[in-house]
Amino acid sequence: MPFALTAERDKQVEALLARYPNTRAALIPVLWVCQRQHGWISPEVIDWVAQRLDLSTASVKGVVTFYTMFFDKPVGEHVIWVCRTLSCDLRGGKAIQEHLEKRLGCHAGGTSADGKFSLMKAECLAACGQAPMVQIDDDYHENLTVESLDRILDSVTSASVTSASVTSASVTSASVGSTPAQEA
């Protein structure tokens, strides 16, 4: 089925195009708009974006495949990125990943059988002072233990109907700063 953005989201594309001296520069922001609507970057999305920005499909695909956050295949309802890099590893990141694999029944790179969660390994997500951590969709969850992670997953599962519609634009100050700001 051919892809098209909703009228409201297409207005966002117009606003994005106005930010740059050429249309190509809007490519990554426009791909984000598409992925937020469609869930992943399908071949139809690539065709639509290429036409909208007057680029070749090959060059759009080249960009999509370069960046880890663009999904070139469908993913679960929620995506969990578990950080595996050094600071998280030093504070128990492996145990977090192993627990996720057992609970979801899939390895990193896979999707749970119920389609609720995709599990991805992430390289350093810049929350090293709050290690170990995972990112679930747009949210960072930090200073994790296996128990706190389970509580978070339970709440994501039970709230998935409403949280799926939350966009980053609706962020409030509640999400700001779990970092100790300065010396105590």
Contact positions toward other proteins, by CB under 8 A?
19-22, 24-29, 31-32, 53, 62-63, 66-70, 81, 84-87, 89-91, 94, 98, 101-102, 104-107, 110-113, 115, 122-131, 135, 138-140, 168-169, 171, 173, 175-177, 179-184
DSSP 3-state of 128: helix
Burial 122-145 (b: 16+ CB within 10 A, else e): beebebbebbbbbbbeebbbbebe
In this complex, which beta carbon is closest to other proteins, that of residue 67 or of residue 154? 67
In this complex, which beta carbon is closest to other proteins, that of residue 46 or of residue 131? 131
Please state the closest distance from residue 154 (CB atom) to other proteins, in A: 20
Q: Which two tokens stand for residue 21?
A: 């001296």
Q: Is residue 27 a contact partner of residue 60, using CB atoms and an 8 Å limit?
A: yes
DSSP 3-state of 41: coil
Please state the closest distance from residue 130 (CB atom) to other proteins, in A: 7
Please state the closest distance from residue 71 (CB atom) to other proteins, in A: 11
